[in-house]
Structure formats: C-alpha cells, structure tokens
Chain A
C-alpha cells in the first residue's frame, strides 16, 4: 500500500513523512495491516535495525505477519486490535530508555493513538517517525460533548454521542489523537451543507 499524500493544511494537521532508519539504542515498531509494508521496506534499508527491534503488528486479516516475522526482529508480537496490544506497547515504553526510536505505520488513528501513548510516556516527539498508509478515516472529537466518533469519512458527520451535525476540522489534538468536530448549523439550525467524502 503506498504512502498517503495529503494536501497542505494548517500547521496543527499532522504530517507523516515516512520512515527512515536512525541508529540508536533501541527501536520499537508498530504497524497495522496497511502499514506492514512500510516496516518491510524499512527492513530492506537497514536489516540490522529490524533485527534489534521490538515489532508489534495488528494484522486485521492481512497476510503480512509471516513476512514480518521472517525479518527476525528481536521481539515479534501480533494482536487483533490496538487495545489488545496496548498493555505490551505500554510495557515496552516503560522499559525504554533515551535513545529509543519509535516507528509507526498505518492508519491515522493507529499512528495518533500510539503517538499519544508514547508522548505520555515521555518519549520525545523527535524520536517518533510515522508513515501513513491506508484509510484516511478520522477519529473525531465533538468539541461540544467531548465524545469521540471513530472512523469518520464524511464532512459533515453526526456525533455518535450527542447527535449534533459536526463540521470536520483539520485542527488536531496530539494528546487526544483526534481531530476537532464543530457544530455546523449552530446559527442556522437544520441548514447543513451537502455531505462530502473526506479527502486526504
């Protein structure tokens, strides 16, 4: 799956320049189905980096597990979802020292959630690299009720918590790993712009 090219936006909108090997004390890697190939490409650039890495993979039914395991990372672990791998990911961050580099690949939600965990654990933002591949569905926070709606692909969309019709902003919270959704018809109740597919 190729890297997603996003159109330029405001500065808070995250960008995902891709992965390139950095020599360091240790490497932690996390990918979902759409990001697995990014880790395989990284291994082609630097086999030694993968050999010393802790790789965590969320296959979501995709067939890349065998190929990743065949790269012989120091630790290899698969789990069915982000919440399933979270205890292991947190433990890896807890045991990590300065010099550890984190490589994230896959959907925006996976990258965002993993990055928020890593930052909360004290990993410097400059020690994190990311490669966006696959779905551009967004994790949205309703700024009114604060509820999170996952997998949003249209603009506007309906908040799954309070039911307001929300406009999809590029304003992003690194702490919440979510974009901000703002009521689109607050001043003209019921008058809602035409539904559009979200574009990269």
Chain B
C-alpha cells in the first residue's frame, strides 16, 4: 500500500458523534485526485498497536489540495474511531494510503439513485460532486434519526434532488416508494446499515430490477468478539487475536506480511486458505460465496473471526 505522511489541517465536529478531519501535504502541493465513492486507509499508531481504518473521502474528487473524511465515534468498536476523536489534533502527522474506489459510480447508467442510512452518507458526498460536475441525473435519499445526528446535513448541497428522511420526525425511508417508476437505465447505490441494503435489494428484486443495476457498500468495521488463537502454518507462528483486534491486525502485529485493500470484507484481496478448522469461523465478509462460507476452507482475515479448538491458515 502506498501510504504517505499527511498533516492534519482541520478537525471540525459536525455532530456530537461525527467529526470531520482534513489532511494536507506537509510540504504543500497536490495529492492524487480520485473518483466519487473512493476511500483512504488511515494508519493510527495507538500505544504500540497499529490500526488501519478505511474512511470514505468526502472532499471534491477533483480537488487535490487535501483529503477530507468524516469519522463517527464508535465507543463499542475496536478503538480506531476513538483514537481519531480523542488523540488527533491539528498539526499531527498521520500516514494515509492512496485513494481506492470499491464503490464507484457506474457511468453507463442513465440515472443514479443514491440511498444512504446514517454515516453511510459519506461515500455519496464525493459521488454527488462528481455527478454534479458531469451533469448527470441523480437523486439522493438520506435517512437519519434526527437533524441533530445527521452529519450529512453539513456536507450535502442544498438541491431539490436531495431528500431527507428523518425517522424521528416520522419520515421513515421507504425503498419501495423510491424505486417505484424509475426510468430505464437507473442504477441504485445503497450505503448504510445491512438492514437497509437488504431491504433495497429485496424491493428491487420484487420489482424485477436486474442485480447489475444494484450497488451497495456496507460500512463494515471489523467486528469485535471473543479472543482466539490462530496458527499461521507458512510463518510457523501461533498468534492470539484480542477482542478489539481483527485477525488481519493480529497477523500484521506478529510481523507477517499479509495482503489487504479495503479492510472491510469487500474487495477480496485478503482471502486466505484455511488448512484446518476445528470450530466455527464467523464469516463477516461480503466477498466469499455462501458455499465458501459453509465449506470453511477460506477466510477473510480483515473482518472474520473464529471460535473453537484450532484454526490453521496458509499464511
């Protein structure tokens, strides 16, 4: 991963739980441009543990003067967002990876319908800038609990195509209404809680939408869980994965080089062969097929965990 040291140029609370961070080149100069929906991986040296979390870029894809991200504080998470909220200040240097896009717009679409739930608004902020620049037809539906919690309100343009669904004000988002009567060639993109993504997929299937017109990004942070032990056969190591560490982080902490890209169970890059599994793998990824999940012969260490007597990986 090509990562470079960037300086924190701004820290701005958007809501009580969501904060915007801006990174710029310490020497001045321009950063690589990206496309709407791209993310970066932020490296966080947290008391001897190196965490790497992926965050969607919310700045203008065509503006290389800096990268903006919005981080929601998850106190029950593994600690990455807490680190960002409590330990990062303007002027700090952090290593940031080059932008990667696993949630790009399909530019063959005639119209783009974007559906966001909660902090899932973030990838759409840059997509919206791209859509406006290309003058493509779109509509955005943003579901949040309340105005006070809706960080996106500070990030979205004031346009008639932007629709707000606040459940606290009795306006619950209804994918069946959104998908109704969309013109031929419309693509729909969903980012947010899994339940919202599943609901959109279900409604779309009922209405006869082909799968290829649906895109989704679950903002999948590696789940926490009970500690477990893993044997890395090729490296000849037996390692412990702590409750607040992902398997991938534990592999890295042991000094073993392992491939990764999204760190969120979506890209397939970290796929690892399982040599022996006596117990149950808790698969959390969106990459492997259901039959792969059932067979327990492969694992995605960025998000998946294990319970049982023994797990041996080809790593």
A-side residues, CB < 8 A to B, are: 22-26, 93, 96-101, 121-127
A25-B208, A122-B110 are known; give 11 further A-B pairs, CB within 8 A: A23-B208, A24-B207, A25-B207, A97-B181, A97-B182, A97-B184, A99-B209, A100-B208, A122-B184, A124-B213, A127-B210
Structural contact, A98 and B211, CB atoms closer than 8 A: no
Chain A at the B interface: SS class = loop
Whether B212 sits at the interface, judged by CB under 8 Å, is yes
Q: Mark B181-220, 1 if CB is under 8 A from A, else 0.
A: 1111110000000000000000010111111110000000
Chain B residue, CB-CB nearest to A122: B185
Shortest Cβ gap from A165 to chain B (Å): 37
* Cα separation A101 to B208 with both chains bound (whole Å): 7
Q: How far is the CB of A120 from chain B (nearest CB, A)?
A: 10
Are B207 and A124 in contact, CB atoms less than 8 angstroms apart? no
Q: Give chain B interface residues in 42-76, CB to chain A under 8 Å.
A: none
Query: A5–B185 Cα gap in the complex (Å)?
Result: 31
Q: Closest A-chain residue to B181, C-beta based? A: A97
Q: Complex Cα distance A48/B23, Å?
A: 58
Residues in B with CB closer than 8 Å to A24 are 207-209
| B239 contacts the other chain (CB 8 A) | no
A-chain residues with CB within 8 Å of residue B206 when the two chains form the complex:
23
Q: In the bound complex, what is the Cα–Cα distance between A98 and B210 (angstroms)?
A: 9
Nearest chain A CB to B286 CB, angstrom units: 20
Q: How far apart sit A10 and B211, CA to CA, in the bound complex (Å)?
A: 25
| Contact assessment for A98 and B212 in the assembled complex, using a CB-CB cutoff below 8 Å | no
CB distance from B74 to the nearest CB of A (A): 35
Decide if A100 touches B184 in the complex (CB within 8 Å): yes
Query: Residue on B with the closest CB to A101?
Result: B208
Q: Please give me the 3 A-B residue pairs with the lowest Cβ-Cβ distance, nearest first.
A: A24-B208, A122-B185, A126-B210
Chain B residues closer than 8 Å to A96, beta-carbon distance: 184
What's the least CB distance linking A39 to chain B, in Å?
18
| Contact across chains for B212 and A126 when beta carbons are under 8 A apart | yes
* Inter-chain contact A127/B208, CB cutoff 8 Å: yes
Q: How far is the CB of A102 from chain B (nearest CB, A)?
A: 10
Contacts of B212 in A (CB 8 A): 124-126
**What residues of chain B lie closer than 8 Å to A100, measured between beta carbons?**
184, 208
Cβ of B179 within 8 Å of any chain A Cβ, yes or no, is: yes
* Minimum CB distance partner of B205 in chain A: A23
Residues of A within 8 A of B184 (CB): 93, 96-98, 100, 121-124
CA distance A10 to B283 in the complex (A): 38
Bound: A24/B209 CA distance, A: 7
Look across to chain B and name the residue whose beta carbon is closest to the beta carbon of A126. B210
**Interface bits B261-293 vs A (CB < 8 Å: 1, else 0):** 000000000000000000000000000000000
For B185, the chain A residues whose CB sits under 8 A away are 98, 122-124
Chain B residues with CB under 8 A of A99: 179, 204, 207-209
- Give the Cβ gap from A52 to chain B, nearest Cβ, in Å: 11
Report the Cα distance A158→B186, complex, angstroms: 42
Query: Who on chain A is nearest to B212 by CB?
Result: A126
Closest chain A residue to B186, Cβ basis: A98
The smallest beta-carbon distance between B180 and chain A, in angstroms, is 8
Q: Please list 23 pairs of residues, one from A and one from B, whose beta carbons are closer than 8 Å in the complex, sorted by A's number.
A: A22-B208, A23-B208, A24-B207, A25-B207, A26-B208, A97-B180, A98-B183, A98-B184, A98-B207, A99-B208, A101-B208, A121-B184, A122-B110, A122-B183, A123-B185, A124-B184, A124-B185, A124-B210, A124-B213, A125-B212, A126-B210, A126-B212, A127-B210
Q: Which of B181, B182, B184, B204 has most A Cβ within 10 Å?
A: B184
Q: Report how far A132 CA is from B179 CA in the complex, Å.
A: 32
A126: chain B residues at CB < 8 Å are 210-213
Please, which residues of chain A bring their CB within 8 A of the CB of B186? Answer: 98
Interchain CB contact (< 8 A) of B179 among A23, A26, A98, A122: A98
Instruction: Name the residue on B nearest A123 (C-beta).
Output: B184
CA separation between A121 and B186, bound complex, in Å? 11
- The chain A residue with its CB closest to the CB of B207 is A99
Determine the distance from Cα of A23 to Cα of B209 in the docked complex, in whole angstroms.
10
Nearest A residue to B203, CB-CB: A99
Q: Which A residues are CB-close (under 8 A) to B180?
A: 97
**B130 shortest CB reach to chain A, Å:** 20
CB contacts (< 8 Å) of A93 on chain B: these are 184
The reply to whether B183 and A97 contact each other, CB–CB distance below 8 Å, is yes
Closest B residue to A27 by beta carbon equals B208
**B211 (CB) vs chain A CBs: closest residue:** A126
- Residues B85-128 near A (CB distance < 8 A): 110
Q: How far is the CB of B95 from chain A (nearest CB, A)?
A: 41
Contacts of B110 in A (CB 8 A): 122
A22 CA to B209 CA, complexed, in Å: 10
Q: Which residues of B contact A127 (CB under 8 A)?
A: 208, 210
Minimum CB–CB distance for A134 against chain B, Å: 27
